[in-house]
């Protein structure tokens, strides 16, 4: 679709079609009419349409970068000053998009926060409609217990806590650990769809196994247990381990070297985390992917309906957001609101985790993509 040079907008069209000035009598009647609308809890379309129905998505959220070097020390200070436990539930500090007027939202749909758990601390169990995941950019030593299954958290792992699963976290070590939480809190709040329930104060299973039971049952490629033939809304895999992600990306680049189609584009390997019972996204509202660019590689400039949050896992590069270039290093996070143009450029080998609300838009048929320089 064309988002090009056409400068026709509601405003320009209204200006061209300007109606004659009302007479004083008409103006008075009109004012009375608008007062009567207001008294009747009514609002006319014609005064609002330019804002309500713009020509292309015009988000209030803005592209923005948060630095890991800023985030982590603030989280550590919170670790010293703010207890974790029932009431506040989690020591999580949310990215608050500067365009979204004081809400703790990274984008209108997505929550992204750094969560910090001190040595031997426990975040108590609870459950909620909101879908959640964790991604670990550094550290280890915490187990998240999901519906009674203890799941070790280690660097590079992507871990699921789908809606309405009881979950808590406990740090089994003498060191603090911090990671990224991603949820659909803003969407669920907007849509008035959330339920919440408290669980136990301590996690229900304090064991510290290397792999979770969910992985032992489900994380075998292409194999499905006969005890699990019913498809599930959410992925039954609680943890997607770094060694698998890394291997998958490495193989894509090797296959590319050998002349076989495997990557998204030249020098750009990527995987999507999926629900093995359906092949689809891990949860109904959240898509998660991992991207690896070779040193020197770039992605095309693209616009998409829906928003996403990225975190650099390793390496150094830049993101160009609506024409503005930002250098990125390990742990840095940035958001891309709906229909804002982005592209990536790798200085070194460049590894990034991404999550987005794409499943919402695909399931409701609002998804569109525009790639600069292609006719589509």
Q: Which of 192, 324, 373, 375 binds a copy of itself (CB under 8 A)?
A: 192
Q: Candidates 27-35, 168-176, 308-316, 324-332 — which segment interacts with a copy of itself by CB under 8 A? A: 27-35
Report the nearest approach of a copy of itself to the CB of residue 3 (Å). 8
Q: Which of 5, 45, 323, 373 binds a copy of itself (CB under 8 A)?
A: 45
Least distance in angstroms from the C-beta of 373 to a copy of itself: 20
Round to whole Å and give the CA distance between 362 and 307. 13
CA distance 359 to 280: 9
Which helix (H) or strand (E) element contains residue 72?
Answer: helix 68-81
Residue 76 phi, psi dihedral angles, 5° rounding:
-65, -40
Is 133 a binder of a copy of itself (CB under 8 A)? no
Q: Could you give the CA distance from residue 286 to residue 182 in angstroms, rounded to a whole number?
A: 9
> Is residue 257 part of the contact set for a copy of itself (CB under 8 A)?
no
CA 145-147-151 angle, 5° bins: 30
Taking CB under 8 A as the criterion, the residue among 144, 235, 308, 356 binding a copy of itself is 235
CB of 212 to a copy of itself, least distance (A): 11
- Residue 176, classified by CB atoms within 10 Å of its CB into exposed (0-12), middle (13-18) or buried (19+), is buried
Interaction between residue 274 and a copy of itself (CB under 8 A): yes
Which among 187-195, 309-317, 323-331, 343-351 is the span making contact with a copy of itself, rule CB under 8 A? 187-195
Name, in order, each residue with C-beta under 8 angstroms of 40's C-beta and a sequence gap of 6 or more: none
Q: Does 334 bind a copy of itself (CB under 8 A)?
A: no
10 binds a copy of itself (CB under 8 A): yes
From 120, 175, 197, 369, residue interacting with a copy of itself (rule: CB under 8 A) = 197
Using the minimum distance from each CB to a copy of itself, give the nearer residue, 131 or 174: 131
Instruction: Find out whether 169 and 203 touch, Cβ atoms under 8 Å.
Output: yes
State the pairing for strand pair 342-346/317-321. Answer: antiparallel
| Given 71, 152, 309, 312, the residue binding a copy of itself (CB under 8 A) | 71
């Amino acid at each position: 679709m064309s988002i090009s040079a056409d400068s026709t907008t509601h405003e320009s069209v209204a200006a061209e079609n300007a109606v004659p000035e009302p007479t004083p009598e008409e103006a008075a009647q009109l004012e009375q009419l608008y007062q009567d609308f207001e008294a009747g809890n009514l609002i006319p379309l014609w005064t609002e349409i330019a804002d309500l129905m713009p020509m292309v998505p015009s988000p209030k959220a803005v592209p923005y970068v948060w630095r890991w070097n800023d985030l982590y020390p603030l989280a550590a200070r919170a670790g010293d000053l703010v207890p974790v436990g029932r009431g506040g539930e989690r020591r999580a500090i949310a990215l608050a998009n500067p365009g979204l007027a004081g809400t703790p939202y990274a984008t209108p749909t997505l929550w992204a926060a750094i969560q910090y758990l001190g040595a031997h601390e426990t975040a108590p169990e609870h459950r909620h409609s909101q879908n959640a995941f964790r991604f670990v950019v550094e550290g280890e030593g915490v187990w998240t217990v999901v519906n009674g299954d203890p799941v070790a958290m280690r660097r590079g792992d992507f871990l699921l806590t789908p809606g309405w699963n009881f979950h808590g976290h406990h740090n089994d070590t003498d060191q603090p650990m911090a990671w990224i939480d991603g949820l659909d809190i803003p969407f669920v709040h907007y849509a008035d769809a959330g339920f919440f329930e408290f669980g136990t104060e301590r996690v229900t299973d304090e064991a510290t196994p290397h792999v979770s039971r969910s992985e032992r049952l489900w994380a075998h490629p292409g194999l499905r247990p006969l005890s699990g033939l019913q498809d599930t809304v959410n992925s039954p895999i609680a943890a997607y381990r770094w060694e698998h992600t890394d291997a998958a990306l490495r193989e894509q680049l090797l296959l590319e070297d050998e002349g076989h189609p495997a990557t998204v584009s030249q020098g750009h390997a990527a995987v999507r985390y999926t629900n093995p019972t359906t092949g689809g996204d891990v949860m109904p509202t959240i898509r998660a992917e991992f991207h690896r660019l070779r040193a020197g590689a770039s992605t095309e400039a693209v616009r998409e309906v829906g928003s996403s949050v990225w975190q650099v896992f390793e390496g150094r590069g830049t993101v160009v957001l609506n024409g503005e270039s930002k250098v990125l290093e390990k742990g840095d996070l940035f958001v891309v609101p709906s229909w804002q143009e982005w592209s990536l450029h790798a200085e070194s080998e460049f590894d990034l985790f991404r999550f987005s609300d794409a499943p919402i838009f695909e399931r409701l048929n609002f998804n569109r993509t525009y790639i600069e320089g292609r006719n589509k």
